[in-house]
A and B are shown apart, each in its own frame.
Chain A
Amino acid sequence: MTATNLWREHRVLFGRWLARLRREPLTMLALLAQPMVWLVLFGHLFTKMPVPGGNYLRFMTAGAVVMTTFNGCLTGGVELLFDRESGFLVRMLAAPASRVSLVTSRFMYLTVLTGAQGLVILVAAWMMGVRYAAGIGGIAACLAIGALFGSGITALSLALAFSLRSHSQFSRSPASPACH
């Protein structure tokens, strides 16, 4: 298991997650639309709401980033579950690639995806007038903390995905947003 081999596996595994996302542009749109709707709709609806800091939009921007990361990572296990049901997962396991790479590539993908979404939200909020007191460093810290938080949620999601038998059971589990 050399570093070169690990790199080659991760390259194609990560590339596959990205290609799948590209082929489903509606998913990508929905991923970005949801936090935007929050910002625009609730940001304006609750402008009079007394919150710490005094500005509701500013208050909820942080929340939008966290919720987006949380949702993205929690549903992140589902795709591996699809692979298990379709039989593609076991086909991958028949290759000499490391089993761990399947999971770590998923972590990498979700970190990049939710990081990008977080950044889009922060930029959108900035355009709506939110200013970040902590500056660029604060934004970097926010994204880094988001990545850590997201990794934890991804781990939970993957553990759930693999300990439950089927996809329908996953969406019925109380931790999943699908049951709201």
Chain B
Amino acid sequence: MTSSADPAVQVSGLTKDFGATRALDGATFDVANGEIFGLLGPNGAGKTTTMRILLTLLKPTAGTARVAGQDVTRDPVAVRQRVGWVPQGHAVDPLLTVMENMRFMCGMYHLAPVAARRRAAQLLEPAGLADHGNKVARVLSGGTRRKLELAMSLVNVPAVLFLDEPTVGLDIAARRDLWTYVRQISRQGTTIVLTTHYLEEADALCDRVAIIDRGQIQATGVPGELKVNYQASTLDEVFLAATGQELAA
């Protein structure tokens, strides 16, 4: 069923209601294989909700979504085996060491202990964490901790990696360091879907972006094209135009 020509993510008419709140309202978009795709939108736009549906953590009210060739509602376990996720909050156990965190996650993805040890070592190296293996995660700096979270999300060699605001709270050096790591992951063939509030980040990192507001996709395209279409010089201006907000003079 899964052919490499299929898009990595196919979202069609995705709608999610929380009681009376409509968090997602017929969102439709595709993410091609190997792409770095950015979901941009103001607070409460529905970015995290979209991700949680794609990760099979929430059931959509209406619409369909396929990730890595699998339907999220019909075969959630198959999806979980093929995706990785760095959530908006924290995803490490602060009391465990870097290596223990890695091996824990490997076990949750059913790797045998020996394979887990090998995979952990393989992943810590490019993350620049090889020398931190025995450190308790609590003492890591924000940037290092984020890289650990990324490494942990790669234990199953995911086809699609979801990053929810990966650089929030990082200083500019740590942010650029993380971009380098994300590009490196992308070069190995992993499709990446990320959300961000930093439009400069989307510009630097993403092959394509979608602008989402009040649960609806307002625009999709290559950052450069969007700037031309909206006659804007920066992605910030595109964003404000697409979400109907005004630039404060």
Q: Which residues of A contact B (CB under 8 A)?
A: 4-5, 8-9, 11-13, 15-16, 19-20, 23-24, 86-88, 90-97
B95 CB contacts on chain A under 8 angstroms:
19-20, 23-24
B96 and A95 form a contact (CB under 8 A): no
A20 CB contacts on chain B under 8 angstroms:
93, 95-96
B110 and A97 form a contact (CB under 8 A): yes
B87 CB contacts on chain A under 8 angstroms:
87, 90-91, 94
Query: What is the distance, in angstroms, from A1's C-beta to the closest C-beta of chain B?
Result: 8
B11 CB contacts on chain A under 8 angstroms:
none
Query: What is the distance, in angstroms, from A113's C-beta to the closest C-beta of chain B?
Result: 16
A23 and B136 form a contact (CB under 8 A): yes
A88 CB contacts on chain B under 8 angstroms:
90-93
How far is A121 from B101 in the complex, measured between Cα atoms in Å? 33
Stretch of B14-22, B77-85, B181-189, B191-199 that contacts chain A: B77-85
In the complex formed, the residue of B with least CB distance to A2 is B110
B110 CB contacts on chain A under 8 angstroms:
4-5, 8-9, 96-97
- Does B57 count as interface, using CB distance less than 8 angstroms? yes
How far is A24 from B87 in the complex, measured between Cα atoms in Å? 26
Chain B, range 92-120, C-beta contacts under 8 Å to A:
92-93, 95-96, 100, 103-113
- Selected from B77, B81, B83, B107, the residue in CB contact (under 8 A) with A12 is B107
A-B contact pairs, 18 of them (CB 8 A): A5-B110, A8-B110, A9-B108, A16-B104, A19-B96, A20-B96, A23-B96, A23-B136, A86-B89, A87-B90, A88-B91, A91-B85, A91-B91, A95-B105, A95-B108, A96-B81, A96-B109, A97-B108
How far is A9 from B103 in the complex, measured between Cα atoms in Å? 11
B113 CB contacts on chain A under 8 angstroms:
8, 11
- Selected from A15, A19, A24, A94, the residue in CB contact (under 8 A) with B55 is A94
How far is A11 from B116 in the complex, measured between Cα atoms in Å? 12
A16 CB contacts on chain B under 8 angstroms:
93, 96, 100, 104
Query: What is the distance, in angstroms, from A169's C-beta to the closest C-beta of chain B?
Result: 20
How far is A90 from B107 in the complex, measured between Cα atoms in Å? 16
A8 CB contacts on chain B under 8 angstroms:
107, 110-113
Query: What is the distance, in angstroms, from B88's C-beta to the closest C-beta of chain A?
Result: 8
How far is A131 from B112 in the complex, measured between Cα atoms in Å? 46
How far is A57 from B80 in the complex, measured between Cα atoms in Å? 55
How far is A1 from B83 in the complex, measured between Cα atoms in Å? 18
How far is A10 from B26 in the complex, measured between Cα atoms in Å? 39
A90 and B57 form a contact (CB under 8 A): yes
A94 and B57 form a contact (CB under 8 A): yes
> Quick one: CB contact mask for B159-181 with A, threshold 8 Å, 1 for yes?
00000000000000000000000
Using known A-B contacts A19-B100, A91-B85, determine if residue A96 contacts B80 with beta carbons closer than 8 Å: yes
How far is A87 from B88 in the complex, measured between Cα atoms in Å? 9
Query: What is the distance, in angstroms, from A33's C-beta to the closest C-beta of chain B?
Result: 21
A11 CB contacts on chain B under 8 angstroms:
107, 113
How far is A93 from B156 in the complex, measured between Cα atoms in Å? 15
Query: What is the distance, in angstroms, from A175's C-beta to the closest C-beta of chain B?
Result: 27
Query: What is the distance, in angstroms, from B154's C-beta to the closest C-beta of chain A?
Result: 13
Query: What is the distance, in angstroms, from B184's C-beta to the closest C-beta of chain A?
Result: 22
**Smallest CB-CB A-B distances: 7 pairs:** A12-B107, A87-B89, A95-B108, A96-B80, A23-B95, A91-B91, A97-B108
A12 and B85 form a contact (CB under 8 A): no
Query: What is the distance, in angstroms, from B230's C-beta to the closest C-beta of chain A?
Result: 35
How far is A93 from B58 in the complex, measured between Cα atoms in Å? 11
Query: What is the distance, in angstroms, from A45's C-beta to the closest C-beta of chain B?
Result: 38
B103 and A12 form a contact (CB under 8 A): yes
A93 and B57 form a contact (CB under 8 A): yes
How far is A87 from B156 in the complex, measured between Cα atoms in Å? 20
Query: What is the distance, in angstroms, from A10's C-beta to the closest C-beta of chain B?
Result: 9
How far is A4 from B103 in the complex, measured between Cα atoms in Å? 16
Chain B, range 32-55, C-beta contacts under 8 Å to A:
55
How far is A83 from B59 in the complex, measured between Cα atoms in Å? 22
How far is A43 from B197 in the complex, measured between Cα atoms in Å? 63
- Selected from B88, B109, B136, the residue in CB contact (under 8 A) with A95 is B109
